[in-house]
Amino acid sequence: MPYGYNGKILRVDLTEERLTTEEPPEAWYRAYLGGMGAVAYHLLTENPPGADALSPQNTLVMAPGVISGAPFSGSGRNAVGAKSPLTEGFGEADVGGYWGAELKHAGYDSLIFTGAAEKPVWLWINDGEAEIRDAHGLWGLQIADAEDRMREETGEPQARTALIGPSGENLSRLACVMNDLNHAAGRCGLGAVMGAKNLKGVAVRGHNPPKMADPDRMRELAQAIVARIRVESQGFSDYGTGAGMDAGAATGNLPTRNFRDGSFEEEARMIDAIAVKEKYRVGMGTCYACAVRCKKEVALEEPYLVEARYGGPEYETLGALGSDCGVSDLAAICKANELCQRYGLDTIGAGATIAFAMECYEEGIITPEMTGGLDLSFGNAEAMLTILSMMGRREGLGDILAEGTKRAAESLGGGAEAYAVHVKGQEVPMHEPRLKKALGLGYAVSPTGADHCHNIHDTFMRDTNYAKVAPLGITEKVPIDSLGPGKVRLYKYWMEMRVLANCLSVCSFPPWRFTEYVDLVETVTGWDTTLLELAKVSQRTLTLARLFNVREGFTAADDWLPPRFFSPQTSGALSETAVVPGDLRRAIDTYYGMMGWDAEGVPRTGTLHELGVSWAVEYLPSTETDKLIV
């Protein structure tokens, strides 16, 4: 009998409306752990090469990790994955809340959706029993209304939901999957995959958590992290993310007016998490079993009506819909956050795309005739809200922008591509690669396009974080502004631990040490494991994700940053600082070598054998180089 996980995967054939259960062997769980690892395995082995991301051929995976749903802080996460409609490559997003733990408690380790339903449907799972239900009465509803209707229909007021809103239904490539109303699997446009499958969402209720190998030891670990949270994560508990954004503005790290400018320090104090707490915050929410309690809840009646159950703006939202759009109206940002939650839109992608549109408006590429007379200038909060609603409904200019920055630029023409800040089609998050050099490397080589979570933040590498990587062999500090081999090695090791967290589906906010991942896995599953074995899962996941992208036509040329970052900001601390192309190119080449990939970024045959995935050799391109390496 397995500990920590159920040993069961529910496969849902939406075309045939058929449910089947699979029981992978223990070796499969140890090789991939769940989460991002499960996504990489299923996408590579099940998606036909070149399949359209919005076609029935695209497999959708929802997967917690093997230790998700155990009673410790940070265990409430799950991954969502599919071929990305935004990048047409590997798509994976991670999300917190209660849904992932609830799925484990309901008897399944993950869900795999294939095909597409003829009409709108939703999936109901209740303690191991699953059924596909008609979603005719749910289609078109915003997120909270859909959850209310699902709970009413099932008679389960505590049912947990993973849903799409109107944006996903309308196939916006910025659409996300919302857990529990205010937790977003935000990146990669995966809500559009659900919409294309006519899948409104999944409601789950479970009362039977998988048994743990050592419950007493788990209680000890859970209690120890709570004590540490009160010291090391108190800032998250007090404010959530986004406190002290003025400091980010002062160093140039706060994206301002589409990553163009560097002056927003005074305005930043008006929109950061401290201001949110002082003005509009009514509570702090949390995820399953987590003592951090970092989720803002805001409520307003004037000048906009904002409901607390949709949560509140996190740092990425405050940046994307605030400073990146030149907006310093906190009430408008809170409303914009709520609109994104209601429609099921990624706040990063939506805000960054609006910022792009604002610069295009300034440059005359977008005209007042195209906006319907709307003044889409930087800083116009009302215009930001109006265009955001238009994106949510895919109306007018919003229809073009709902495609994301890359496609919007291609549609607009007129030189708009120069202002499109994305990597592989995915908008860049709210962290500045002109300051954080290794972060920029991470943006460039990420399999999902620009991502700040499975990445490193150079300026965060202080003593406590260096202590975390010491057991990995990193014993010397690397200068913040370096992008040499030492920094690449630091990035690789740190990023792999972040990917490992995504495979385990463990949040990074509770201050777990990397070595404690071993303790958690052993305590929950009973496996005799090591940090080496777990690190190999991360490397395996990244390599399979890379193979997926190679198969879909991505090359080394796609591992690059947008033109904006090769020039300095117009003002502020980074007015004389830019990414140096030669330095970035050398760092990418060094990273490929460290990963066991060739000069084009293609995994070598020997690398696949070393990672225990010899079966994946068949997915390599047929080149003479690969044939020679055995």
Q: How far is CA 279 from CA 82, 271, 283, 297, in A?
A: 39, 10, 12, 12
Eight-class DSSP state of 44:
H
pLDDT tens for 517-563 read 999 999 999 999 999 999 999 999 999 999 999 999 999 999 999 99
pTM across the whole model: 0.97
Q: Is the pLDDT of residue 627 over 60?
A: no
Following CA atoms 559, 564, 567, 568 in sequence, which dihedral angle do they give, to the nearest 10 degrees?
-120
Check residue 623 and give its pLDDT: 62
Domain for residue 624, yes or no? no
In whole angstroms, what is the distance from residue 108 CA to residue 9 CA?
Answer: 6
Whichever domain contains 457, its CATH number is 1.10.599.10
Domain for residue 226, yes or no? no
Domain for residue 1, yes or no? no
Same domain, 398 and 453: no
Domain for residue 162, yes or no? yes
Domain for residue 302, yes or no? yes
Check residue 433 and give its pLDDT: 98
pLDDT tens for 4-17 read 999 999 999 999 99
Domain for residue 4, yes or no? no
User: Which two structure tokens, joined as six digits, stand for 220?
Assistant: 């000890």
pLDDT band at 622 (very low <50, low <70, confident <90, very high): confident
Same domain, 192 and 296: no
Domain for residue 219, yes or no? no
Same domain, 452 and 421: no
Last residue of a domain, one of 427, 449, 476: 427
Last residue of a domain, one of 398, 427, 456: 427
Q: Is the pLDDT of residue 630 over 50?
A: no
Q: What domain range includes position 19?
A: 9-205
Same domain, 260 and 377: yes
Max CA distance (Å), the chain: 68
Check residue 104 and give its pLDDT: 98
Q: Is the pLDDT of residue 204 over 80?
A: yes
Whichever domain contains 162, its CATH number is 3.60.9.10
Say what percent of the chain tops pLDDT 70: 99
Same domain, 272 and 389: yes
| Span 379-397, average pLDDT | 98
pLDDT tens for 55-111 read 999 999 999 999 999 999 999 999 999 999 999 999 999 999 999 999 999 999 999
| Span 243-257, average pLDDT | 96
Q: Give the chain's mean pLDDT.
A: 97
Same domain, 379 and 454: no
In whole angstroms, what is the distance from residue 505 CA to residue 67 CA?
Answer: 8
Last residue of a domain, one of 388, 409, 427: 427
pLDDT band at 1 (very low <50, low <70, confident <90, very high): confident
Q: Please answer whether residues 610 and 620 qualify as being in contact, where contact means their C-beta atoms are separated by less than 8 angstroms.
A: no
Whichever domain contains 395, its CATH number is 1.10.569.10
Say what percent of the chain tops pLDDT 90: 98
pLDDT tens for 137-186 read 999 999 999 999 999 999 999 999 999 999 999 999 999 999 999 999 99
Domain for residue 617, yes or no? no
- The count of domains in the chain is 3
